[in-house]
Structure 1
């Protein structure tokens, strides 16, 4: 799966010949790697419902990864988190300059909707996917979460405010793969709601995990500058609740997500092995 995920993204940009410099900047960040957890989750849920994976399934799965990659480029800019490294490599703006990095991020935000629109899927499903991804990524999701996150720098936020930031900044892009897979698999509304809940739980766990690593891991582990949240005086789960409670929230969220897939295995015949293993790998050990 991982190799085909990368191939799908890079093959899409092989068609773009208007600006070689733009494509070079975009593919630099794509090739920098990453866990590819968003497309992987989507594909594993599809396979769990018994579907044979097609090129269109991969197109949908990578659409969210492209937006995630674009968000990292913009996140690293001097006006945002101002970082020099990402995944152990110079950040996009350090490699190509700020202007081209901004445009690379712009391309990665907009291009996924062509992938969704051109996927060989029923029209009604394509429309739902486009709507879901837009609301997860834009002013109703990730971008709004980023704005709230920046506004909260230097403040001691209430837990509810921190939860709202991260439910949007991180959670909605991690919820999309679950819901998208359910839509493509033709699942009922109750099952779609279970999948949405699982995605929200994994999104919460992922953010808490990231907050923990920011204060416990070093550059070699992170591939980026550690303790950036501390330097920016951002409220995080460890700063508000302490590390022990943060570990508890991480594990509890993952336990609840795994319980949803255990239930789907019983009620829908869902093959849960792969998705359970992926969720389990998100755990940290204090």
Structure 2
């Protein structure tokens, strides 16, 4: 149960009531704000092909969980969209880049993403690689050029966080170990955790922590947010692994069962589905314990954590 208090360190936080909080409405409203900002973020101009390719994947809907987490965390510490929306959009740009590249024949070789043909199936492998590169570079430019009402040192910290989340210490490092582990049934749980702390959790962590940094969260707050995000990130991947087995391609919007085809070790393959579900719930409980101290303003983060293991796609 969320404590009925407001942490005095928060600056004009938005207050929520646990009993009346409507997560579906909250997510839908936040997603609509993100979609509007993303739509305006990239305009098609010459050479049209690259901008169309970028927009094709960026605007292919999706849960928009990373930008929503960035907005929610900034709101928790008294910030608003003018402070956090550019970074929220940048997180989705980077996430989209990772999906475009992950789907390439040299990586996971997938034909569908978010219910649509993958980028390289529409534009070719060459343009897909370049579209991912362009989204990655533009993400940093977008933060720097569009963030308002935030001191420059905070913006610099966010740019640094995002860079680390993507590079060899983050997403890229996790992807490398993931590729190296394919077809190796002796992959350990320790290695699997390393892969997904980097490949999946790192960008979720950057999204959450950046929202706090932009709004002026202090060092102790950042520690709490980091632990929260790392745990929901790993839980997110465990549920992804389970859904890859239990759901259809139509439900997922991407090819189901591809982990088995690629001979990847997953949490269900190591632990079984029941134990994987238990581990995911434990991670969510640990995550929620880190933000309970903020009282009712933390209800969105608490409920989003619950959503991560309750989702069906």
Normalized against structure 2, the TM-score is what?
0.86
Shift of 1:284: 3.5
User: Is residue 2:109 matched to residue 1:87?
Assistant: no
Task: Please say if residues 50 and 271 of structure 1, whose CA atoms lie closer than 8 Å, have aligned partners that are also in contact.
Answer: no
> Could you list the per-position Cα deviations for residues 65-121 of structure 1 after superposition, in whole angstroms to 9, with x for gaps in the alignment?
110001101111111111111111111111111111111111111111101222222
The alignment status of 1:114 with 2:141, answered yes or no, reads yes
Deviation at 1:285, TM superposition (A): 8.6
| 2:45 aligns with one of 6, 17, 24 | 17
Q: How far off its partner does 1:55 sit? A: 2.9
- How far residue 199 of structure 1 moved from its aligned partner, in angstroms, is 0.6
1:59 is matched with 86
Residues 11 and 285 (structure 1 numbering): CA distance in 2 closer, same or farther, change over 3 Å? closer
User: Which whole-Å deviations, capped at 9, do the CAs of 1:116-174 have from their partners, x for residues lacking one?
Assistant: 22222211111101100000011210011111100000112111111111110001001
Distance 1:128 1:50 in 2: 18
Q: Which residue of 2 aligns with 1:263?
A: 293
Secondary structure in 1 aligned to 2:308?
Answer: coil
Deviates more, 1:250-259 or 1:126-135: 250-259
Q: What's the counterpart of residue 42 of structure 1?
A: 70
- Secondary structure in structure 2 of the residue aligned to 1:111: helix
Is 1:281 the counterpart of 2:312? The answer is no
Task: Answer whether contact 1:144 1:169 (CA < 8 A) is retained.
Answer: yes
Displacement of 1:50 in angstroms is: 2.6
2:105 is equivalent to residue 72 of structure 1: no
Q: Which of 20, 24, 29 is the equivalent residue of 2:57?
A: 29
Q: C-alpha distance in 1, partners of 2:81/2:115?
A: 33
Any conservation in 1 of the 2:235–2:280 contact (CA below 8 Å)? yes
Equivalent in the alignment of 1:248: 278
4+ aligned runs moved over 6 Å, structure 1? none
Q: Are residues 1:138 and 2:167 paired?
A: yes
Specify every segment of 5 or more residues in structure 1 that has no aligned partner in the other structure, as ranges: none
CA distance in 1, matches of 2:284, 2:130: 36
Where do residues 226-237 of structure 1 align in structure 2 (5 Å cutoff)?
A: 226-237=256-267
RMSD of aligned Cα (Å): 1.5
Distance in 1 between residues matched to 2:74 and 2:144, nearest whole Å:
19
What is the CA–CA distance in structure 2 between the aligned matches of 1:264 and 1:187, rounded to whole Å?
A: 12
Q: Counterpart of 2:127 in 1: which secondary structure?
A: helix
How far the C-alpha of 1:10 sits from its partner, in A, is: 2.4
Per the TM alignment, residue 203 of structure 1 is displaced from its structure 2 partner at its CA by 0.6
> Among residues 34, 40, 48, which one is paired with 1:5 in the alignment?
34
For the residues of structure 2 that align with 1:19 and 1:199, how far apart are their CA atoms?
Answer: 38
